[in-house]
Amino acid sequence: MGTLFFVLVLNFFLFRILPGDPERTLTRLQRVSPSTVDEVKRELGLDRPLPVQFFDYLGDTARGELGISYVFSRPVSEVIGNALWPTILLVGVATIGATVIGTLIGIWGAWRRGSPVDTASLGFGLVTYAMPEFWLGMLLILGFAVSLDWFPTSFMSTPGLTDASAGLLLVDTLEHLFLPALTLVLALLGEYALIMRSSVIEAMNEDYVKTARAKGMREALVLRKHVVPNALLPVVTLAALNLGFIVSGAITVETVFSWPGLGQLTFRAINGGPDYPLLQGLFLLFSVVVIFANLAADLLLGLLDPRIGRA
């Protein structure tokens, strides 16, 4: 509860220090008098002292009322709900892909430590991890969309394809998903590969592994039954901790690919005012997801490793 309350406090005051006035943004496309601007400010509640606005914000949040978006003129919960599924799809596919591929690369690299494949795969993963997501996305656009013309570069589906069959819509969505998902996968797999590789190498030197080898157990069986299950624990923790970084990376990736998710919505909310209610709702959602993801990781680690549960 303490963490959540800190998030609420930070959530309110953080966006008040951003440059820009929402009332000016809402009236910038029309000639209005200063009195009209003051009236808009009163309607939005921005003329009240900050402490009063803060307690109003706490009460509205407790009732599940996140306010009305200044940019979209619709309830914040509705705006966020419409953008939630695209981000879940993108981040979910990218997280699963990066975790699986990076873990396999780490296992193979530790088992064949020092081999050319180990060096090349780990080097590639670290190089892509060091690249900014937006720059990596632009490189993929140049390679797969501009040069090869294999995949689309914008939106979640082709405009005007709403009357197509379900199968065609699925294929179209997957084609639009490929490049943004690949960008996030490449940006993340190097970290998973490095953590898994180090964890496997450390586990291979444990006494229980030496005992299994002394009993004559085959190396592949030792790796599968003794080394990998114990080496997976840091990867589970990393996957939960990475959720916040994945979401922040999704903001730039969704902007580059015009993907209609929470990342692009965050970008529009910052540029459009700023849109205080929408930004507060998005930040609160991101924070709650990270908090509960870490809680889930702690519970899952207790199930995977009984020693943690007993501790």
143-184 per-position pLDDT tens digit: 888 888 888 888 777 776 766 677 788 888 888 889 999 998
pLDDT of 211 > 70? The answer is yes
State whether the Cα torsion 211-217-219-224 is positive or negative: negative
* Residue 142 vs residue 113, higher pLDDT: 142
Give tens-digit pLDDT for 266-284: 888 887 667 778 888 888 8
Are 194 and 106 a contacting pair, CB within 8 Å?
Answer: yes
Burial 170-185 (b: 16+ CB within 10 A, else e): eebbeebbbbbbbbbb
Are 3 and 291 a contacting pair, CB within 8 Å?
Answer: yes
pLDDT of residue 248: 60
Give tens-digit pLDDT for 41-56: 676 676 777 788 888 8
Joined tokens for residue 117: 């494949």
User: Cα(253)–Cα(166) distance, rounded to whole angstroms?
Assistant: 27
pLDDT of 308 > 70? The answer is no
| Residue at token pair 């914000």 | 57
pLDDT of residue 18: 64
User: Cα(280)–Cα(269) distance, rounded to whole angstroms?
Assistant: 10
pLDDT of residue 108: 85
pLDDT of residue 273: 65
Average pLDDT over residues 22-51: 66
Are 172 and 164 a contacting pair, CB within 8 Å?
Answer: yes
User: What band does 37 get if pLDDT is binned at 50, 70 and 90?
Assistant: low
Question: Mean pLDDT over all residues of the chain?
Answer: 79
CA angle, 142 then 104 then 130, to 5°: 40
pLDDT of residue 221: 78
Torsion angle defined by CA atoms of residues 252, 257, 260 and 262, in that order, rounded to the nearest 10 degrees: -10
- For the chain, list the domains and their CATH numbers: 2-62 (no CATH), 76-310 (1.10.3720.10)
Give tens-digit pLDDT for 223-281: 777 787 778 878 877 777 776 666 665 788 888 888 888 888 888 888 766 777 888 88
φ, ψ at 75 (rounded to 5°): -55, 140
